[in-house]
Structure 1
């Protein structure tokens, strides 16, 4: 039996392929090694994995994760996976490679992630050929849920948010400025905290179209201005994108892409289905 996983900073999507070739999907929380230790991942998997999953029977684990971009960070996750799946051969790859394989298969092109965080690259059909670092939520991650969430929180705290939307925000979360500061500066996973508010904007976007459009347009424009336009001949590629933010706001993403003269390709919420198909097809070649 093999298992394939796509891990973001917030959620990990898993697919088990059993001896009969049946696909079984399940989820756990996300494990970004910049924020999660080996011990934390092991403990979380003990709780989060399905009770029926016979971990000792797995022979191969393909885990693609946010933050798994260096040997040191991959080792944090690999050690946790080896403890959890003791008899399996473990492969740890970057979530950006998973997105490339899901979006493009064996074809070259441009791929991006717009979820809790942001990433992007040029893909040569096998490997990532060029990646401009998005620098994480402190210094970059333009276009991400965290980037949008920080703008929402700032507008809420400063009183710039439309009155009715601000009242709805308080009704939903009952957060004071002090609560927000505490979550950002003192509690773990501040990127996930900030990113969670992009869903609030999506839920209310039909009632506050101007505010929602301007907020997301600003984020996606920053994504293009600071990342996409710095790839050589970027206009020659289509924008292929994975992630809940890119998918949920794909209408605005299309408007911004058109402004920067880049066509839209494949936009999907999660790569797991296409990624599993990629591995099945690769195994049959």
Structure 2
């Protein structure tokens, strides 16, 4: 049995390739080694994945995850080996490589992640050749769900919403300033908390010009501070995976074309194409 995973900070998508070649998929919570220690990751994977399969039957694990860089790669490998103790192969790579493989296959180009966080790269058909660090949600992650959620929360806390939008926000969430500030500054996963407010933009009161302004500003920030830093970016198609890019693809198209990039493939997740990629290498 082969197991393929694409993990963000919020959600992990898993693909199972059985011995007879059948593929099945399931999802669990996200596992980011920058925010979780080895014991927490091991316990979470063991309890959540164990519902869907017998860990001892897994022979190969290919795990692509947010935060899986530098020393965190070995930490994630250790956590996975403690769960999948019979696995002969356990490989851990950054989630950006999974994105490039799923979006571009063996062709060179530009690939991006627009989900809870962001990431971008140039890919040569085999490996990432150029990468500008998104710097995470405290210093960067422009255009991400976290960045969009922070804009919404800031508007609410500073009373910058029109009355109908503010009333809708209060009805939906019933939050006070102290509660928000505690979650943002004292919770374990403030990035997830902020990103959860992107759903507010689907509310009827917020789904028009307010949605266009908030998301448009976030995407322009993303292009100005990340995408435009890549050499010859205007000669490349903009390919992207992630819930934010997919859900707001209408606004993403406007911004990409405004910066001289044709919109390429936009996917909500990579797991099916990534699993098929590894299946083809068997």
Shorter-chain TM range is: over 0.9
For structure 2, the residue ranges without an aligned partner over 5 or more in a row are none
**Against the structure 1 CA distance between its residues 2 and 206, is the aligned structure 2 distance closer, same or farther, given a 3 Å change threshold?**
farther
Does the 8 A contact of 1:205 with 1:212 survive in 2? no
C-alpha deviation, 1:206, in angstroms: 7.3
Instruction: Provide the rounded CA distance (Å) in 1 between the counterparts of 2:205 and 2:265.
Output: 24
Instruction: Provide the rounded CA distance (Å) in 1 between the counterparts of 2:250 and 2:154.
Output: 24
Does the 8 A contact of 2:17 with 2:279 survive in 1? no
Aligned residues: CA RMSD: 1.2
For structure 1, the residue ranges without an aligned partner over 5 or more in a row are none
Match of 1:2 in 2: 2
What SS class does the counterpart of residue 196 from structure 1 fall into? helix
- Note the alpha carbon deviations across 1:140-193, whole angstroms, 9 max, x for none: 100000000000000011111222222222222221111111011111011111
Does the 8 A contact of 2:10 with 2:192 survive in 1? yes
Does the 8 A contact of 2:116 with 2:191 survive in 1? yes
Match of 1:24 in 2: 24
What SS class does the counterpart of residue 187 from structure 2 fall into? coil
What SS class does the counterpart of residue 129 from structure 1 fall into? strand
C-alpha deviation, 1:47, in angstroms: 2.3
Instruction: Provide the rounded CA distance (Å) in 1 between the counterparts of 2:204 and 2:260.
Output: 26
What SS class does the counterpart of residue 159 from structure 1 fall into? coil
Does the 8 A contact of 1:26 with 1:50 survive in 2? no
Does the 8 A contact of 1:149 with 1:198 survive in 2? yes
Question: Which runs of 4 or more aligned residues in structure 1 lie more than 3 Å from their structure 2 counterparts after TM superposition?
Answer: 205-208
- Note the alpha carbon deviations across 1:198-237, whole angstroms, 9 max, x for none: 1221x22675411100100000000100011110000110
What SS class does the counterpart of residue 36 from structure 1 fall into? coil
Instruction: Provide the rounded CA distance (Å) in 2 between the counterparts of 1:31 and 1:218.
Output: 29
